[in-house]
Chain A
Amino acid sequence: QVQLKESGPVLVQASETLSLTCTVSGFSLTNYGVIWVRQPPGKGLEWMGIIWRNGNTDYNSALKSRLSINRDTSKSQVFLKMNSLQTDDTAIYYCTRDWRYWGQGVMVTVSS
């Protein structure tokens, strides 16, 4: 069955770079895109970006200068990197396939 799982550090220092991995199973990254979404504590959902099945990417313009999404299709992994972290980047980070299948999320705290 379709599964996605986010992994990465739970605590990051301000000004540093966040690196998260979304490991997928039950489908191929060459057939489906993967989307990243985040949710600050107690707040709503924000679309961050997408890597399409052909490997192209689109980003939220508010994050574009700091964000990159890549993948390793042989490992069924999608990578999110975001630099110059600030405390308001503290959030649960989710990956999702076609908006229907979601990972459990990973809570990332940015410490000043």
Chain B
Amino acid sequence: DVVMTQTPLSLPISLGDQASFSCRSSQSLLHSNGNTYLAWYLQKSGLSPQILIYRISNRFSGVPDRFSGSGSGTDFTLKISRVEPEDLGVYYCLQHTHLPYTFGAGTKLELK
């Protein structure tokens, strides 16, 4: 199984700061069809996960442009340029290149 390692576990931040999340996979997420199926989610307390980024760097409809994704192969990053109050919660990465599909353990974005 592909292991997804997210760091840090917790990210204390001040509003307006930049936030950076790391996600590393135990093997390349490049699919034989040329796509890399790496997605990022935010889960706020009591709610379903909401997709932010799909296929490494594509923002889902309605996601603010302060969110950006990058990376390739086994190393991926999500950045928030200026954290807003509604950005607080747990961020997960997901790989759906290789079965079984697997999530990272999450990074909690919280106020300092």
- List the interface of chain A (C-beta within 8 A of B): 35, 44-47, 50, 58, 60-62, 94, 99-100, 102-105
Contacts and interface: CB of A to CB of B under 8 A. Distances in A.
Dominant secondary structure of chain A at its interface with chain B: loop
B99 A104 contact: no
B106 A94 contact: no
Interface in B56-112: 60, 92, 94, 96, 99-106
Contacts of A61: 100
Contacts of B51: 99-100, 102
B48 A104 contact: yes
B54 A99 contact: yes
Given A60-B100, A105-B48, A100 B60 contact: yes
A27 to B, nearest CB: 15
A99 B92 contact: no
B109 to A, nearest CB: 15
Nearest to B4: A44
Given A102-B48, A105-B48, A47 B100 contact: yes
Contact of A102 (B49, B100, B102): B49
B18 interface: no
Given A44-B106, A45-B92, A102 B101 contact: no
B101 A47 contact: yes
A35 B92 CA distance: 17
Nearest to A46: B103
A99 B39 contact: yes
B10 interface: no
B26 interface: no
A45 B49 contact: yes
A45 B6 CA distance: 13
A7 to B, nearest CB: 15
Given A44-B103, A58-B100, 12 more contacts: A44-B92, A44-B104, A44-B105, A44-B106, A45-B92, A45-B94, A46-B103, A50-B101, A62-B100, A99-B51, A99-B54, A105-B48
